[in-house]
Amino acid sequence: MALYKLYFLLSYCFYKPDNELIHLLKEEGIELLKNKFNEKPSICKSLIDLREEIQKDNILDELAWEYNRLFFGPGKVLVPPYSSLYINSYGHIMTKITKQVNEAYKAWGFKVSEDLKEPADHIAIELSFLANLYKLLEENTEQREAILLQIQEFKDHLREWFPKFKSEIEKNQSLRFYGIIAQIVEELLKKD
C-alpha cells in the first residue's frame, strides 16, 4: 500500500472540511485506513466509529463547526494547528520552527498553495509534505537515501509536537472525527 496516499488523506482531513472529503472517506478512505491498520483493534474500532459519524445527514455542517471551533475560534483557539506553538515555549507562530519547515519544503520543491493563507507549519501542510516525500520515494530511486533521511527528520519533527496536539484535540472535541484522525496519524508516525 502506498504510504503517500494515506498521508494525503490524513492531510486532507486537517484542511477545512468539504463535500469532497466526505465523499473520499466514504468511497475509499476508510477502506484504505482499514487495510493499513487491520491488525490494530483500537484503530479498527475507531474506524467503525468514524464510518458511523460520516454517515450522518448533516456531517459536513457539524464538521465545519467543529473545525472552526477547535482550530480557529471564535474567541480563544482551542487547538492551534501549528507546530511552532507546541515546540517553542513562547506561544507564537511564524518562529524559527516555521522557517525550518519552510526550508525543508523549498529543498524538496514543495510549494504551499497561495490560496491557502496558513503558515507553513500548519498540520495539514506538514502531512501533505510528508505525503509528497513518500510519493517522491516511489518515483525516484536515485535520491532514495536522501529522501528517506528527510522523511525520518520530518517524522521526528512531527513526533516532537503531534502528541500534544492530539491530546488537545481529545480534550476539546465534541465530535470524534478529529480525535480519530489524530489517533491514526500518531499510530502511523510510530508504525512506518
pLDDT in tens, 134-166: 999 999 889 999 999 999 999 999 999 999 999
Using a CB cutoff of 8 Å and minimum separation of 24, what contacts does 56-62 make? 59/22, 60/17, 60/18, 60/19, 60/22, 62/175
Q: How far apart are CA 186 and CA 45, in angstroms?
A: 16
pTM comes to: 0.94
In the chain, domain spans:
3-191
Residues in the chain, pLDDT under 50: none
- CATH code assigned to 3-191: 1.10.3480.10
What is the predicted pLDDT for the residue at 55?
A: 96
